[in-house]
Structure 1
Amino acid sequence: MAKKVNVLVVGEGGREFAIAKKLQESSHVNQVYCAPGNVGMTTVGVLPVAIAETDFAQLIQFAKNHGIAWTFVGPEDCLVDGIVDEFRTAGLKVFGPDARSAQLEGSKDYALNFMDNYHVPTARHATYRNQTAAINNIDQFGFPVVIKENGLAGGKGVVVAQDRAIAIKTVKEMFANGQARLILEECLVGPEYSMFLVVSNGHYRVLPMAQDHKRAYDNDEGPNTGGMGAYSPLPQLSSTVRQQMITRVVEPTIKGLAAGGYHYHGILYIGLILTATGPKVIEYNVRLGDPETQVILPRLKTDLFELIEAAINDQPLPTIEERPIACFGVVLASKGYPTKPLYGQHLGCFPNKDNIEIAYANITGKLNSLRGAGGRLLMVISEDRSLQLAHNQVYKYLAELNEPECFYRHDIGAKAGL
């Protein structure tokens, strides 16, 4: 067998926990490092490295010093800021889109123009550079109307305004908070799905699909968050509709990347909504999702290292094989998230139990005495032969916790009949 290699994952959250864990399980991998990582990663054999994800020079030096075969970039901020370009300039292999391609997430206006240019179905939309123009055109979109910040917002820069008064207030607040542009869109109606592609210069593979839950509270109420829970597979999604998504959305997207001269080697997320007239795109992301990654990767039978290795080196991509299991996860978030999350609360420890694993994210301290570091703290995950069994185990574990300074949603998976 070929010599085992070291790989580096950039990032520190639950998504990077899941990526690093899956890579560490590969027979091809000696050691996975994660920069900066979090203390919880040591529970799965991954070594955190005290280098900020924004310190590209130090990350490059670390990769050279530790014989890193390639680096997997997790967070969108780094990708938009050009980490891939800098690694390549330094002669290092890296998985992720370059800065130009990352504009598909970095600017919603840019992404919508791409969709228009390459005939990818999406909502009716318009971009505005000043408050007056936006307010004067609100009525064109009907109510509710979707209002989006143009730039990166950690999954939270979207408001669905139910009436004109809320819409005007939102527009004024977004411009007052420094937005140079914002987007108004018609509100599409239908179930939402998360599709992730591994893309390698015109070739792609579709990873197992998941459904995310964006609103903070039960019954899809409260503000948008980065995501409060997810599950995979999707019993409510037929293979016919999935193929329709590939034909109508994925294929024109991949052809658009080729036609536009994007040398894309990375993950492409397509946020889909199944409307009465077929699937449409809500948004693109240029990386794996959080919390979807935590339920998708455990279902992947294909070796993740082999898949990424092939993509980086422009080799034929292996076929995606899925394990015949269901995976279900619920996020434990800090009280006050997403607007004013509590920091520093004592969390204690979270032992793994039968069929329960913890994907750590925003935590500090020692494993037997953890503290919250704001936002989404961790995710409780179960895999089993059915979604219902996995769902029951996760909620049983959460019910036994005593975490008064945290909260979680109680209805993850309701759209799958759980």
Structure 2
Amino acid sequence: MKDDLKLLVVGSGGREHAIAKKLLASSHVSQVYCAPGNPGMTVDGIIPVAISELDFLALKGFCYEEKIAWTFVGPENALVAGIVDSFEADGLKIFGPAKTAAQLEGSKDFAMRFMNKYAVPTAKFATFSDSASAIEGLAEFSEPVVIKADGLAAGKGVVIAQTKDQAREEIALMFKKGQKRLVLSEFLSGAEYSLFVAVGRKDYRILPMAQDHKRAFDFDKGLNTGGMGAYSPLPQLPETDYQRMLHEVVEPTIAGLRQEKFDYCGILYIGLIMTEQGPKVIEYNVRLGDPETQVVLPRITSDFAQLIDCALNGDALPAIEVTAKACLGVVVAAAGYPGEYLKGQALPGLQATDEIKVDYANVSEKVERFVGNGGRLLCVLALEDDLQLAQAKVYSYLAQHEFVDCYYRHDIGAKATGKFAGVTGKLENLS
């Protein structure tokens, strides 16, 4: 691997902040740009570039002009739109799956058919292109029924209908809003986990696992969001279950990628649920998760940039070294998210310390202060000897600051620690 590499990360959120920060930590990397990035990234020496993640022509021009060694793609919309195909057509190195493989996230129907073809355990499903046939198809499913928009929905395109009547209403509403296809699937019960695989052209490596918290409010109440917090590792996951995930899910998935000749060089996220019958896949994503990335990457002690460099050059991937320490992150979101949210709220000055880090997402800068500019605004993180200590540090830090027109969950990590952080920030027993 060469030295003094200049790299580009595509995207603007907390995930991209975490990726860029990790790449910049490599002794081989001299500079990391992020397009379009956000002002909060500058705190860590990352340079935002005012180019949209979907403006492939301008992004490629920037790579030529700045002599970028390679590009790491953060968000799914750019991957599904074909950014990798566009870059590779012009001889530019880029980490991420090509457009065909990106359908594993871009189309729920495509992903479910792939799983069935390669014997990857998943839920029973059916796909429909109109309201009448979808409502008729409900007869094949028990309550509750999972209804998924077929295309990208930023983590918010899933409805769990508790009754058939509710399902009929949701189906009619989704088609009325312009949805072209819906996927109905059986509801799977069990603990959910996030598993990440770095896939090279020759081999692959498993990254640390994490657990995300999708619902907006404490105790998994409220609407689905892009993610309100995460933690890693997962002490509640038995080693036998983890090995089953690798053998029954990861291995056939990788075999399917190879057999389909996807030439997959990127990250594959596997959303898993541990059912009574064993591990089953809820969904694939073709990139790192947000906010899981923010808690997974700090636990990697080996050179992450070198791993990506080897994957892009077709070399054998080095082993991933991981600390035994635990990382926990809590997302601060704008009031109203994931619905209509408020913007422009002044955020408190959050100074990173040796114990606390902040990854910024939807923020802008106004008179030397960061203000809210979207749904999820930032993620506060701690890396400590165990999860309970990391949880205590994060919530203690959050309680010391006043967040106006914002909110965050108080139970991130509770499923592992048994502790719940009350609104005062004091740790109390989970009840």
Q: In which range does the TM-score fall when normalised by the shorter chain? A: over 0.9
| C-alpha separation in 2, matches of 1:367 and 1:9 | 27
Give runs of aligned pairs for residues 169-208 of structure 1, distance below 5 A. Answer: 169-201=169-201, 203-208=203-208
Structure-1 residue corresponding to 2:162: 162
Give runs of aligned pairs for residues 14-163 of structure 1, distance below 5 A. Answer: 14-163=14-163
What is the identity percentage for the equivalent residue pairs of Structure 1 and Structure 2? 57
| C-alpha separation in 2, matches of 1:346 and 1:221 | 27
Deviations 1:343-363 (A, max 9, x none): 111224211234111100000
| C-alpha separation in 2, matches of 1:285 and 1:259 | 19
1:62 match: secondary structure = helix
Quick one: structure 1 residues 357 and 123, their matched pair in 2 at CA, closer, same or farther if it must change by over 3 Å?
same
Structure-2 residue corresponding to 1:383: 383
Structure-1 residue corresponding to 2:280: 280
Deviations 1:326-372 (A, max 9, x none): 10000000000001111111224211234111100000015841110
| C-alpha separation in 1, matches of 2:3 and 2:162 | 58
Give runs of aligned pairs for residues 221-240 of structure 1, distance below 5 A. Answer: 221-240=221-240
Structure-2 residue corresponding to 1:401: 401
1:327 match: secondary structure = strand
1:2 shift after superposition: 4.4
Code of the aligned partner of 2:252:
P
| C-alpha separation in 2, matches of 1:66 and 1:191 | 45
| C-alpha separation in 1, matches of 2:174 and 2:340 | 18
Check conservation: 1:40, 1:367, Cα contact below 8 A: no
Structure-1 residue corresponding to 2:250: 250
Code of the aligned partner of 2:10:
V
Quick one: structure 1 residues 303 and 9, their matched pair in 2 at CA, closer, same or farther if it must change by over 3 Å?
same
Check conservation: 1:202, 1:254, Cα contact below 8 A: no
For the pair 1:297 / 2:297, whether they are aligned, the reply is yes
Structure-2 residue corresponding to 1:341: 341
| C-alpha separation in 1, matches of 2:267 and 2:29 | 20
1:279 shift after superposition: 0.2
Structure-2 residue corresponding to 1:308: 308
Unaligned runs of 5+ in 1: none
For the pair 1:215 / 2:215, whether they are aligned, the reply is yes
Check conservation: 1:39, 1:366, Cα contact below 8 A: no
| C-alpha separation in 2, matches of 1:201 and 1:354 | 37
Higher mean alpha-carbon deviation, 396-405 vs 335-344, is at: 396-405
1:404 shift after superposition: 2.9
Check conservation: 2:348, 2:402, Cα contact below 8 A: no
Unaligned runs of 5+ in 2: 420-431
| C-alpha separation in 2, matches of 1:126 and 1:356 | 45
Code of the aligned partner of 1:225:
T
1:140 shift after superposition: 1.9
1:257 match: secondary structure = helix
Check conservation: 2:347, 2:404, Cα contact below 8 A: no
1:147 shift after superposition: 0.3
Give runs of aligned pairs for residues 320-331 of structure 1, distance below 5 A. Answer: 320-331=320-331
1:109 match: secondary structure = helix
Higher mean alpha-carbon deviation, 2-11 vs 181-190, is at: 2-11
| C-alpha separation in 2, matches of 1:238 and 1:300 | 21
Q: How many residues align?
A: 418
Code of the aligned partner of 1:336:
G
1:174 match: secondary structure = helix
Check conservation: 2:56, 2:83, Cα contact below 8 A: yes
Higher mean alpha-carbon deviation, 233-242 vs 294-303, is at: 233-242
| C-alpha separation in 2, matches of 1:223 and 1:189 | 18
Check conservation: 2:202, 2:314, Cα contact below 8 A: no
Structure-1 residue corresponding to 2:426: none
Code of the aligned partner of 1:382:
A
Check conservation: 1:348, 1:368, Cα contact below 8 A: no
Deviations 1:251-288 (A, max 9, x none): 00000011111110000000000000000000000000
1:139 shift after superposition: 3.0
Check conservation: 1:201, 1:258, Cα contact below 8 A: no
| C-alpha separation in 1, matches of 2:10 and 2:364 | 18
Q: Over the residues paired in the alignment, what is the CA RMSD in angstroms?
A: 1.1
1:247 shift after superposition: 0.2
1:352 match: secondary structure = coil
2:160 match: secondary structure = strand
Check conservation: 1:271, 1:281, Cα contact below 8 A: yes
Quick one: structure 1 residues 2 and 140, their matched pair in 2 at CA, closer, same or farther if it must change by over 3 Å?
closer
Check conservation: 1:195, 1:209, Cα contact below 8 A: yes
